[in-house]
């Protein structure tokens, strides 16, 4: 059965901490892995990863994909209260319109 | 426990028609959110229902509407379809509003011709 699993489900940190969010998957016909930041239900696209081992970076956020071990991580350095959100991971399938989401990781950053 | 189910899985409509999509949340879940996924715009939030009340709404025109029934099942309606409405419509259920993990359904692929 195709599935995407995110961990941890919830994370509470203080400003300045570095966090690592995990997304593992078991899917057939993998095409890409997507990360979203969701605040008040409005998702914002962060990264699309298709190739193994190539880090994508945007400011304090970075992500990498390991297609051999079937997982991706999202790193946030020097966290700020504005990083508080739910982070969603989704996997796209090749040759179909299938898209499977994980349940999200809820990150809370306190001052 | 059965997951989130969406029906139909595929739909083809013509411009000007209307369509109703259905979402059945996980048993016991009271929140249902709807999203539109397109290659160009990515994932966009449509609305969220909790206990039969619309709690949040995204930035979509009034042609997009929804409702939730007492058994938490939800329907989304799009009237006067436009070509740009072609998308994958996803619904997600969660036990409560914000902050709890969401479980996404497989989506309904709507094609407007």
Q: What is the pLDDT of residue A40?
A: 80
Top pLDDT among A59 and A40 is at: A59
Tokens of B51: 């206990």
Sign of the torsion formed by the C-alpha atoms of B39, B86, B12 and B76: positive
Please indicate if any CB of chain B lies within 8 Å of the CB of A104. yes
Q: Which one, of A85, A84, A86, A61, lies nearest residue A72 by Cα?
A: A61
User: For residue A89, is pLDDT > 90?
Assistant: yes
Among B101, B102, B107, the residue with its CB nearest the CB of A99 is B107
Mutation for A interface: B66, B91, B101, B109, most A CBs within 10 A: B101
Residue in B with minimal Cα distance to A98: B106
Q: What is the DSSP letter of B11?
A: E
Which chain A residues contact residue B58 at CB under 8 A? 41-42
Report whether B51 contacts B93 (CB < 8 A).
no
Burial class (CB in 10 A: 0-12, 13-18, 19+), B83: exposed
Q: How far apart are CA A93 and CA A25, in angstroms?
A: 12
From A71's Cα to the closest Cα of chain B, the distance in A is: 19
For residue A40, give both structure tokens: 């008040």
Q: Are B107 and A97 within 8 A, CB to CB? A: yes
Q: What residue of B is the nearest CA neighbor of A42?
A: B45
Contact status, residue A57 vs residue A5, Cβ threshold 8 Å: no
Q: How does pLDDT run across A20-36, given as a tens digit for each residue?
A: 999 999 988 899 999 99
- Determine phi and psi for A81, rounding to 5 degrees: -60, -30
Which residue on chain A is closest to B31 by alpha carbon? A41
- For residue A76, give both structure tokens: 């946030």
Q: B40-92: per-residue pLDDT in tens?
A: 778 899 999 999 999 888 889 999 999 999 999 999 999 999 999 999 999 99
């Amino acid at each position: 059965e195709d599935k995407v699993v995110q961990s941890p489900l919830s994370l509470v940190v203080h400003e300045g901490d570095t966090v690592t969010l995990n997304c593992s998957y078991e899917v057939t016909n993998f095409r890409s892995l997507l990360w979203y930041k969701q605040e008040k239900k409005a998702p914002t696209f962060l990264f699309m990863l298709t190739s193994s081992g190539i880090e994508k970076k945007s400011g304090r956020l970075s992500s990498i994909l390991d297609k051999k071990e079937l997982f991706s991580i999202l790193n946030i350095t020097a966290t700020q209260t504005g990083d508080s959100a739910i982070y969603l991971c989704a996997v796209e399938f090749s040759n179909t319109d299938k898209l499977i989401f994980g349940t999200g990781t809820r990150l809370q950053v306190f001052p | 426990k059965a997951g989130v189910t969406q029906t139909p899985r595929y739909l083809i409509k013509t411009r000007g028609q209307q369509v109703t999509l259905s979402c059945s949340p996980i048993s016991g879940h009271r929140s249902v959110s709807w999203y539109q996924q397109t290659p160009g715009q990515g994932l966009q939030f449509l609305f969220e229902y909790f206990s039969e009340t619309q709690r949040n709404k995204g930035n979509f025109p009034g042609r997009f509407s929804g409702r939730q029934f007492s058994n938490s099942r939800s329907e989304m309606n799009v009237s006067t379809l436009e070509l740009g409405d072609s998308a994958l419509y996803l619904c997600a259920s969660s036990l409560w509003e914000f902050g709890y993990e969401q479980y996404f359904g497989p989506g309904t692929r709507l094609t407007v011709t």
